[in-house]
Homo-oligomer: A and B are copies of this chain.
Amino acid sequence: MSDPQGLSAYAELDLARAARRGYPEAVYCEGKTAQQVAGIAAAVRDRPDVTTLFTRASAEHAEAVLHELPDARHFPEARLLAWPAAPPAPAGGRVLVLAAGTSDVPVAQEALLTARYLGRDAGLIADVGVAGLHRVLGRIDELREADVVVVAAGMDGALPSVVAGLVSVPVVALPTSVGYGAAFGGIAALLSMLNACSPGVAVVNIDNGYGAGHLAAQIAAVRR
């Protein structure tokens, strides 16, 4: 299935990136054919020293990756595959991911797993939206132990503003497309987060769990 020799027609891998930037490149599967993803998977097979993440992978993409890299680990809910299967030993600070509602969990997990595979200690707390403030206030100790907090929320996107008012570390605000009508596929949450009345909120693209996890990993990196 793989077609490494034709790879240059559609992709130019950047395996030196881990060395150059400190973080490996991820393969964004959406918009690529299964055959192209397979081609890339085959090309990284002899570089087990570099962790490769396949993000936004459909079932068909996953099958293609697992055909080339049978021991890759697949997280279907987060639409992610990681190879090699084991994340590196954690270094640097603690990343805590919050999901405002149940429907925000898949994107939150993408952030969680990205942070882990980039080498951070990371955890996840689900269903702590602002409609029941006691939920988030009940977790304040965990919040204050983190070095960076990722907050995934759709609908009104109010949670990052509330969390940023409770902690002193940066909050990565991850808007999700959860909601309907005037949620506009995450725009309402995105705008809410960009206008957070608490400072210290770093916004990423809608449903961009990978980006949120990567940014959090950088913020919590071992300081030089």
Contact = CB atoms under 8 A, between A and B. Distances in A.
A128 interface: yes
Copies in the complex: 8
Interface string A82-115: 0000000000010000001111010000000000
A165 interface: yes
A169 B100 CA distance: 23
A208 B202 CA distance: 12
Contacts of A179: 195
A8 interface: yes
A130 to B, nearest CB: 5
A140 to B, nearest CB: 10
A129 interface: yes
Kindly list the 3 A-B residue pairs having the minimum CB-CB distance in the complex, ordered from nearest: A181-B206, A31-B103, A202-B202
Interface residues of A, number: 90
A93 B49 CA distance: 30
Interface in A166-224: 166-170, 172, 175, 177-208, 210-211, 214-215, 218-219, 221, 223-224
A31 B102 contact: yes
Given A194-B188, A199-B211, A211-B199, A167 B223 contact: no
Contacts of A23: 168, 199-200
A48 interface: no
A100 B161 CA distance: 13
